[in-house]
């Protein structure tokens, strides 16, 4: 058994960090978590990106193992397939599978994160420190440099073992890769995204099918929409950064109006706040992170987007990060307190999966924006479910 008096330090209380904190605490560890942003339960901070996400079986199993699914179930909306919208407003439903369990679920990023934060604190073994920005990880001397975002003061914190769940610009990753002879690629997709919103109807009803992931495919670019519990949909436009049809070419209110009327006429009546949303919401850049190693000796490990940020077209970034967290726990169960072995094994198990999902996510961008309207693809899909 691992030494459960040991304290494990996490950087980042996002989706993966907060779930991992629950799992480690339930194994008896003390957990100290440093999070750069304010506490989302007390402050109205925007999720920053993807207000809702697709949760799949890969992510559900770790949530079950952490004992959280009973709390998570009520905030899930099942999506049974893709609803493909054409220029004329026709809709074509493509089922994800024949069996009732072959569905994915739309879930609010904020609500899911809050369930995990609350569950972590409820164990009585987790301290989460907000507004604490980890600026430097000194792996030689086991010390973190943390900046308090409110007072701007710096402090030094000692750690035994640090796990970087600090997302795609990870400070822990930077430290590991400064020491080891490492490979560290951040590959830009050259495409970005913008979130918009379809509000509920006058009686709170869903204006398009509640149980579908909606797609308006256009070849080189596309829109998707996922349902929210309140009857609204979070809509995401994915498009190139530069070129003839790109974020660069849609900059003024007139260009926005013309672009949507020309390329997405069937969604325009559903977007009453299009202009406001387009100009107020940030444009998020998309990139893949591939790096190696994911660990340093028995001191540091990367999990979630810190190790493998992927583009969102398979809806698997969070799901894969949750699997990472469970893999760490299962490996601790197997190797006790041999942390060098534990971190090496997790790196071996998960890196191969992280790379695979990164490549599949890029392939699925092509499928979603393009092939879902291809006749052969539609025929194959129809035959598969006959």
Residues of this chain that interact with ligand FAD (CB under 6 A) are 11-17, 34-37, 49-50, 53-54, 133-134, 165-167, 171, 193, 236, 284, 304-306, 312, 315-319, 321
Strands, DSSP E only, in the chain? 7-11, 30-34, 52-55, 77-79, 81-85, 91-95, 104-108, 126-129, 132-138, 143-148, 154-158, 161-164, 183-198, 212-217, 222-227, 233-240, 283-292, 295-296, 300-302
H or E element in which residue 22 lies:
helix 15-26
Least Å distance between CB 284 and ligand FAD? 6
Nearer to ligand FAD, 17 or 293 (CB): 17
Residues 147 and 134: their CA atoms lie apart, in Å, by: 6
Measured from the CB atom, the residue of 25 and 318 that comes closer to ligand FAD is 318
Point out the residue whose Cβ comes nearest to ligand FAD: 14
Smallest separation, CB 46 to ligand FAD (Å): 12
Q: State both tokens at 123.
A: 């164990």
> Whole-number minimum distance, CB 149 to ligand FAD, in Å?
9
Dihedral angle over CA of 63, 65, 71, 77, nearest 10 = 40
Q: Please tell me the distance from the alpha carbon of residue 143 to that of residue 97, in angstroms, as a whole number.
A: 50
| Shortest Cβ 16–ligand FAD spacing (Å) | 3
Strands lying side by side in the sheet with 154-158: 132-138, 143-148, 154-158
Q: Judged by CB, which is closer to ligand FAD: 20, or 342?
A: 20
CA 209/CA 94 separation, integer angstroms: 13
Question: Which C-beta is closer to ligand FAD: that of 157 or that of 378?
Answer: 157
Q: Select 125 or 324, whichever has its Cβ closest to ligand FAD.
A: 324
Q: How far is the CB of 100 from ligand FAD (least distance, A)?
A: 21
- Residues in contact with 149: Cβ distance below 8 Å, sequence separation at least 6, in sequence order: 36, 38, 131, 132, 133
Residue among 131 and 338 whose Cβ is closer to ligand FAD: 131
Give least dist CB 136 to ligand FAD, A.
9
- Give the residue with the Cβ less far from ligand FAD, 262 or 283: 283
- Beta strand 81-85 pairing with 283-292: unpaired
In the complex, the smallest distance separating the C-beta of residue 90 from ligand FAD, rounded to whole angstroms, is 25
């Amino acid at each position: 058994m691992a030494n459960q008096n040991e304290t494990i330090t996490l950087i980042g209380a996002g989706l993966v960090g907060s779930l991992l904190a629950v799992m480690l605490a339930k194994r008896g560890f003390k957990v100290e978590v440093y999070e750069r942003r304010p506490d989302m339960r007390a402050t109205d901070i925007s999720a920053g990106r993807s207000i809702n996400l697709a949760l799949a079986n890969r992510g559900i199993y770790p949530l079950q193992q952490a004992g959280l699914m009973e709390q998570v179930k009520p905030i899930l909306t099942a999506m049974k397939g893709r609803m493909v919208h054409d220029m004329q407003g026709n809709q074509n439903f493509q089922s994800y599978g024949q069996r009732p369990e072959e569905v994915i679920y739309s879930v609010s990023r904020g609500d899911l994160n809050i369930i995990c934060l609350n569950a972590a604190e409820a164990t009585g073994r987790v301290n989460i420190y907000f507004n604490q920005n980890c600026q430097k990880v000194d792996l030689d001397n086991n010390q973190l440099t943390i900046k308090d975002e409110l007072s701007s003061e710096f402090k030094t914190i000692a750690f035994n073992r640090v796990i970087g769940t600090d997302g795609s610009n990870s400070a822990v990753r930077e430290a590991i890769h400064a020491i080891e002879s490492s490979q560290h690629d951040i590959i830009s997709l050259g495409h970005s995204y913008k979130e918009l919103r379809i509000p509920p109807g006058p009686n709170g009803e869903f204006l398009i099918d509640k149980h579908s992931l909606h797609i308006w495919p256009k070849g080189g670019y596309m829109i998707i929409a996922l349902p929210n519990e309140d009857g609204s949909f979070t809509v995401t436009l994915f498009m190139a950064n530069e070129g003839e049809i790109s974020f660069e070419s849609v900059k003024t209110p007139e260009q926005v109006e013309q672009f949507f009327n020309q390329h997405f006429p069937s969604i325009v009546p559903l977007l009453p706040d299009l202009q406001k949303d387009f100009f107020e919401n940030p444009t998020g850049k998309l990139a893949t992170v591939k790096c190696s190693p994911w660990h340093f000796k028995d001191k540091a490990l990367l999990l979630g987007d810190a190790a493998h940020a992927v583009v969102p077209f398979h809806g698997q970034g969070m799901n894969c990060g949750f699997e990472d967290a469970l893999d760490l726990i299962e490996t601790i169960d197997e190797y006790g307190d041999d942390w060098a072995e534990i971190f090496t094994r997790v790196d071996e198990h998960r890196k191969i999966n992280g790379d695979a999902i990164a490549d599949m996510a890029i392939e699925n961008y092509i499928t979603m924006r393009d092939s879902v309207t291809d006749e052969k693809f539609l025929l194959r899909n129809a035959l598969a479910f006959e």
